[in-house]
Amino acid sequence: SKPIVAIVGRPNVGKSTLFNALAGEKISIVKDTPGVTRDRIYAEVTWLDKTFTMIDTGGIEPESNDVILSQMREQAQIAIDTADVIIFMTDVRQGLVDADSKVADMLRRSKKPVVLVVNKVDSFQKFMMDTYEFYNLGIGEPVPISAASMLGLGDMLEKVVEHF
């Protein structure tokens, strides 16, 4: 069967935007009305000669940081249990936050292959320097992308399919 790639990360980092960009259609709801996003959404993606199943771990948009963290942990655990490769997405504009570090620890301990992605790098000139702080997560080299502008997706996918 096909490899499974799961996207995890905090609400609003751009998971569904990336998912839709790779799926080539709007399957996942972006910037949802709270409560609308379903729990998990699947799409088949083909890139070059590789095909994989992609999972967007959506979930409702929680109100408090505690709920965000517990929901992220739950999503990360689902990814750890089911995925062959995990895309861990962060947001250069919000910067590195505590919940990112906690989930990164969890992913590191799982020993699953993780590709660390820093989204919303819409201008490499403007935001490239800010991606370096994400090295501090200790889960590898941050890959800058702009899901909205579809920048850096080839470099990201190259790192993903390396693990198949």
- Residue ranges in contact with Mg ion by CB under 5 A: 15-16, 58
Check binding of 120 to ligand GDP (CB under 6 A). Answer: yes
Report, in angstroms and rounded to the nearest whole number, the Rg of the chain calculated over CA atoms. Answer: 14
Cβ atoms 60, 37 nearer than 8 A: yes
Check binding of 14 to ligand GDP (CB under 6 A). Answer: yes
Q: Which residue is nearest to ligand GDP (CB)?
A: 14
Check binding of 102 to ligand GDP (CB under 6 A). Answer: no
Structural tokens at position 107 = 């992913």
Out of ligand GDP, Mg ion, none, what residue 74 binds, judged by CB under 5 to 8 A for its kind, is none
- String marking each residue 24-43 x if it binds ligand GDP according to CB under 6 A: ------xx------------
Question: At what angle are helices 15-23 and 153-161 packed, to 10 degrees?
Answer: 80
Encode 33-47: b = buried (16+ Cβ within 10 Å), e = exposed.
eeeebeeebebebee
Selected binder of ligand GDP within 5, 6, 8, 12 (CB under 6 A): 12
Selected binder of ligand GDP within 5, 6, 8, 13 (CB under 6 A): 13
* Cβ 126 to ligand GDP shortest distance, Å: 11
Q: Which residues have a Cβ under 8 Å from the Cβ of 102 and sit 6 or more positions away?
A: 69, 72, 73
Q: Which has the closest alpha carbon to 79: 16, 6, 142?
A: 6
Collapsing DSSP to helix, strand or coil, 118 comes out as strand
Q: Which residue numbers belong to the known binding site for GTP?
A: 9-16, 56-60, 119-122
Which positions lie near ligand GDP, rule CB under 6 A?
9, 11-17, 30-31, 119-120, 122, 146-149
